[in-house]
Structure 1
Amino acid sequence: MLTGKQRAYLKSLANGIKPITQIGKEGVTDAFLKQLDDALRARELVKVHVLENSGLDVKETANEVARLVRGEFVQAIGSKFTIYKKNREKQIIQFPK
């Protein structure tokens, strides 16, 4: 579980990244989850774009995706959301003390 300070730090990092994957009309698929999990393992912080034709609520989808990949929901703004998952083998993001 992230603290408020950690979440704020992740939001500031997410501000500068672009979405690397998207959810379309097929919704959240196994292939999408696998791709997202691989990206989280490599980067720890990933932004996802939910296309309008998906018909999904962004915040609900973000929370469900975070649960499925065992990550943490960071934020949802407009049609984009950000997920964080700590890499236990090689931690990339160092939180300030």
Structure 2
Amino acid sequence: MFNAVIIFIGQNEALKQPSVQSSTHINQGDDLGLASNAADGNTNSVFSSKTCSHTHDSLDLSPNWNVTFGQSHAINRIVLYNRFDNTGKL
């Protein structure tokens, strides 16, 4: 049996900060992959739950996501949560 415990003391500097991405995936007229979803603190990784950010696959030749901090920060750790329902998308 394998158990893992990760302890991290710090804060999410990107939480609720303004974010933008180069495009947004739209499914049947519904904006599912908004840039703000990536910095809202919700780590639910099921895309249909409208909790993930997602650029448009076929139209975006240089997909990117950006967050704006209110001031300068020293960043020593970045945590990314990939989609649970399509792990090849990261």
TM-score (normalizing by structure 1): 0.27
Bigger proportion of residues as helix: 1
Bigger proportion of residues as strand: 1
